[in-house]
Structure 1
């Protein structure tokens, strides 16, 4: 046998041996694969429902002029914190000064007339007693005195009115708060008929969060609470939380204070008001957020969203039977959260389901279950 034939025969023997070795091993992919599984059990959770809210200070006072005049001085700036009684604006109103001076002069004229009338009465009285002159003259003199006194009262009232109008040119803050927008500048003509206020002072030591519920939500909300009156129901409500516009959670909790007594016929909604403390003035009037209302739910079934798959608009989960084979099962979802589903029907406590890796699974496939700790209980969720 030639050397080439010898090498060829030896190669054939090696290939046959390798083929036999390969045939003795099971084919890859047919043996069960490990998958994480978890046992279903009932849990107690706190769910949250979120409602869009508008934030307002407990007092938003529009500062408006009571008299017409030019803005001569502005003593504050937008966003400044002010105290009750602090000077805000000064108006220039020469007409009011003139009116006050004229009213004051009228008082002196009326006082002089009262004195003159009193002198006339005092002169006539003894003459009437001596029957030197007619009593009619005394009555006339007394009548003139009464008229003079009335004119003095009217003059003093006019002066007081002019003085108050003049004082209205000095505008002070009625409450502690934060200055809002100041649309007018020094020199602007303002008056009582102006649509825009000079500014707004917002008392934001506490703030109100206004939000609405539709009729269906209102009925569900009220059925969860005991009590024969609205006030009794409100007292049972838990503290609420506030989600700010940037998605962060406000560090102070609030309390629902009032529920409007009427449903808005145009929108079919009813207005709620919650109050939040604002010690650091973080919240300002006009901002928006979301009020989170907690609801403690007991003995419910939770499934991680990653453990479900969707088919024709329905949700399914893979259950694991005693033989470690999987079977898809449709589930009914009551509430969707960021990471979990609250399931009302389809699965029962004690059943096992595949936790992750669903894309690799097929109906009836056998797996190697790998148990993970169940971390469902006592969780808290927010409604999407």
Structure 2
């Protein structure tokens, strides 16, 4: 019997389709039927938070200032004859720095001493006369008027002696002022005058400035609101004072390095700056090598108290929502994920200090956040446990090396 080509084509097509359907039905039944089928709850790593004592440290901006500062100004006028120091060097208290021409002041001093000698000579003659008249008036050899005049003359010349002594002291002081001495020990800056310059008493421009830099002050500013909150927390017992009255202070320099010596807080200003709303705090630091110079910008770290019930949360566990609130993911008692809004304080190492939103014992997710959402069931492994992802990741290189 002769078959047409179209009939042979239809039979072949039916055979191929039947073979395909049979293969599909007899395939590997271990493969999942769809995405996610047969998968369990995702594994996450958690940290059980606990309360612990954490020091409250504030980092405040500030600038260095000299411990002592003295601007040198002449107290008598004249020509500068000598400058007796090297600019930028260390000077001692009482060291002569400038010499003003003393000629006129020496002459005035000598003249005052001569006037004093003349007045003292007049006192000797007046005293002898007064003593004689006092004897003669008793026998009425001189009148009482003459005796009174002699006594008054003695007092007058005695007053002249006192005036002459004051003039000598004044002339001596002026003569000594021709030597401009350093009132403090410290480092002297540049000189604004040279020998031959004319200076006047109490002029506005300083001849030079001496600054004591060891120790040195650091003036920092803190907002009055922060200072008020700190005092309230200390008063309510939420914070405990550390170090007694001597608050330790560390210093971060302009290049980010930590200054080698620790200072202490001296006092806080009693007036709030009306322009900035801040209070100035002054700390003192040793500066034996002169590394700190006046006017340097620094950051001071002050230990202002200890929070004995602080909760620390790793940086990796905290994120921000669309409104900017700090949030963490917590695994509750039903092994489901909850989103918590928390309030954070300062950063302590690699963790945030959480002041509100968490309690001791809460399990915070630190790894696997990208795999979970609020309300989802998870398999929680404590960080550091043998089966946790962090531990498995750490053990993988060692296992590969053993093979």
The TM-score, its normalising length taken from structure 2, stands at 0.68
Aligned to 1:166: 175
Q: What's the offset of the Cα at 1:164? A: 0.7
Q: What's the offset of the Cα at 1:165? A: 0.7
Q: RMSD of the TM alignment (CA)? A: 4.5
2:364 to 335, 346, 353: 353
Unaligned runs of 5+ in 1: 1-8, 228-232, 375-384
2:205 to 193, 196, 209: 196
1:251 to 260, 281, 285: 260
Q: What's the offset of the Cα at 1:335? A: 0.8
Q: Retained in 2: the 8 A contact 1:208–1:275?
A: yes
Note the alpha carbon deviations across 1:131-163, whole angstroms, 9 max, x for none: 998776676666555544433432332122111
Q: Retained in 1: the 8 A contact 2:330–2:340?
A: no
1:59 to 68, 71, 95: 68
**Within 1, Cα distance between the matches of 2:291 and 2:31?**
73
**Within 2, Cα distance between the matches of 1:137 and 1:237?**
75
Q: What's the offset of the Cα at 1:365? A: 6.5
Q: What's the offset of the Cα at 1:310? A: 1.7
**Structure 1 segment 16-35 matched on structure 2, within 5 A:** 24=31
**Within 1, Cα distance between the matches of 2:185 and 2:127?**
52
Aligned to 1:84: 93
Aligned to 2:354: 343
1:207 to 205, 216, 235: 216
Aligned to 1:311: 321
**Structure 1 segment 46-195 matched on structure 2, within 5 A:** 46-111=55-120, 113=122, 146-195=155-204
**Within 2, Cα distance between the matches of 1:157 and 1:234?**
58
Aligned to 2:308: 298
Q: What's the offset of the Cα at 1:115? A: 6.0
Q: Retained in 1: the 8 A contact 2:74–2:202?
A: no
**Within 1, Cα distance between the matches of 2:314 and 2:275?**
39
Note the alpha carbon deviations across 1:67-87, whole angstroms, 9 max, x for none: 223333222334433333222
Please state whether the residue corresponding to 1:156 is helix, strand or coil. Answer: helix
1:39 equivalenced with 2:58 (yes/no): no
**Within 1, Cα distance between the matches of 2:50 and 2:152?**
100
Q: What's the offset of the Cα at 1:368? A: 6.5
**Within 1, Cα distance between the matches of 2:265 and 2:193?**
37
Q: Retained in 1: the 8 A contact 2:216–2:287?
A: yes
1:372 to 373, 383, 386: 383
Q: Retained in 2: the 8 A contact 1:310–1:316?
A: yes
Bigger CA radius of gyration: 2
Q: What's the offset of the Cα at 1:128? A: 9.0
**Within 2, Cα distance between the matches of 1:54 and 1:179?**
20
**Within 1, Cα distance between the matches of 2:252 and 2:374?**
45
**Within 2, Cα distance between the matches of 1:26 and 1:173?**
94
1:223 equivalenced with 2:223 (yes/no): no
Q: Retained in 1: the 8 A contact 2:76–2:202?
A: no
Describe the shift of the 1:139–1:42 C-alpha distance in structure 2 as closer, same or farther (beyond 3 A): closer
Q: Retained in 2: the 8 A contact 1:210–1:273?
A: yes
Q: What's the offset of the Cα at 1:292? A: 1.5
The TM-score, its normalising length taken from structure 1, stands at 0.71
Q: What's the offset of the Cα at 1:371? A: 4.2
**Within 2, Cα distance between the matches of 1:319 and 1:263?**
43
Q: What's the offset of the Cα at 1:167? A: 0.1
How many correspondences in the alignment? 355
Describe the shift of the 1:283–1:22 C-alpha distance in structure 2 as closer, same or farther (beyond 3 A): farther
Q: What's the offset of the Cα at 1:192? A: 3.4
Q: Retained in 1: the 8 A contact 2:247–2:302?
A: no
Describe the shift of the 1:180–1:306 C-alpha distance in structure 2 as closer, same or farther (beyond 3 A): farther
Note the alpha carbon deviations across 1:194-249, whole angstroms, 9 max, x for none: 2233333333443343344444333323234469xxxxx99834532132332333
Please state whether the residue corresponding to 1:99 is helix, strand or coil. Answer: helix
1:332 equivalenced with 2:322 (yes/no): no
Unaligned runs of 5+ in 2: 1-15, 386-403
Please state whether the residue corresponding to 1:236 is helix, strand or coil. Answer: coil
